[in-house]
Amino acid sequence: MGKKGLIFVFILLVLFNIQIEAAVYELGDQGEGVKQIQQYLYDIGYDVNIDGIFGQRTREIVKNFQYNNGLKVDGVVGEETLKVLEEMAKDITYIVQPGDTLSGIAAKYNLSTKALKDFNQLKNDLIRIGQELKIPRTGIGGGEDGNVYTNIFHEVRPGDSLYLLARKYGVEIETIKLANNLRTDIIYVGQNLVIPHLQRDINQPFELKKGAFIWPVIGRISSTYGYRIHPIRKERHFHGGIDIAVPLGTPIRAAAAGTVVQSGYINGFGKTIVIDHGNGIKTLYAHNSRLLVRAGAQVNLGQIIAQAGSTGTSTGSHLDFRIYKDENTVNPLNYLP
């Protein structure tokens, strides 16, 4: 073979290697590569069959994984998705620190205490400083300690309806609508929906992230977060929430599960509900016409807690919805679907 022939072969090999490195796995693919991806997904807690066939079920689970980990949601396992999968499938080594408890470590890593004990073959909850624990990665968490509050990603298929999806996942139709900002019951094939769980493990710290809350009500945003001219006092001031215009009596729902810490009249806010979600995070629902839960009540995600109104300093029926982190307001639009 001449020099030119060798150069040609070398170029082919280089191109071939690039194709291998840049390989993607998608619907219809089969083989060991697909089988390894399914094994990764299974190892981190997803209910997937390890059969080496990239079918619709595997594609849906890949989309769930991508959504829950902030990746591009396309159901295709490319370089970025594969990298995150490989990293998450690795077990973590944790050294027990002063003040650690088994339940605290389990909550930190989105596990049940039982799962952590079983994985490390512990006979009881006693641990010692300096002890080495193996922490299995998990994509869904949960176990006997309770269900972790997370979102399921669902691609609408022929025959799907909000009614059937609500029954399948055990949530209310209205909760699905609020999680996706849907104004009607109409959905279409190929549409991507977020299905929130109703409950979360009380030991799992609540996180502020996109999609952490559902919309408490669907309506027109009449005032955004930030500086504005006050509608009554006509002076510039900082508005710490978003105003959502809705008719009098519209049901207001809990944007996330938590404990009601205030339920009553607050000067300026009128009839108001405040829910504590833990980890320094609270939500406030103001100007209601009627309050339906008392302080101390435990409420689920999507539970009706009040009816919209115009009590307090208000020019019309609406909901003033606020999110607090360590007593400071944050922009709700950053954390709603």
| CATH of region 151-196 | 3.10.350.10
Task: Indicate the residue type of 331.
Answer: N
- CA–CA gap between residue 210 and residue 212 (Å, rounded): 6
Q: φ, ψ for residue 100 (rounded to 5)?
A: -70, 145
CATH second-level architecture of 24-88?
Orthogonal Bundle (1.10)
**pLDDT tens-digit map of 252-277:** 999 988 899 999 998 888 999 999 98
Q: Report pLDDT for 321.
A: 96
Banded pLDDT at 4 (limits 50, 70, 90):
low
Residue 22: the pLDDT is 45
Residue 3 scores a pLDDT above 60: no
The pLDDT of 14-30, averaged and rounded, is: 65
Residues 6 or more apart in contact with residue 233 via CB below 8 angstroms: none
For residue 226, the tally of other CB atoms under 10 A from its CB is: 10
Residues of the chain with CATH 1.10.101.10: 24-88
pLDDT of 141 strictly over 80: no
Measured from the Cβ of residue 251, the count of other Cβ atoms closer than 10 Å reads: 15
Give span(s): CATH 3.10.350.10, the chain: 92-135, 151-196
Cβ-based neighbours of 139, under 8 Å, separated by 6 or more: 41, 44, 45, 46, 64, 65, 68, 69, 88
pLDDT confidence of residue 204: 58
CATH topology for 92-135? Membrane-bound Lytic Murein Transglycosylase D; Chain A (3.10.350)
Q: What are residue 324's phi and psi, to 5 degrees?
A: -115, 140
pLDDT in tens, 39-59: 888 776 676 888 999 998 899
The pLDDT value recorded for residue 254 is 92
220-334 is classed CATH 2.70.70.10: yes
pLDDT, position 77? 93
DSSP 212: S
User: DSSP string spanning 88-119?
Assistant: HHSPEEEE--TT--HHHHHHHTT--HHHHHHH
Handedness of CA 299, 303, 304, 308 (dihedral sign): positive
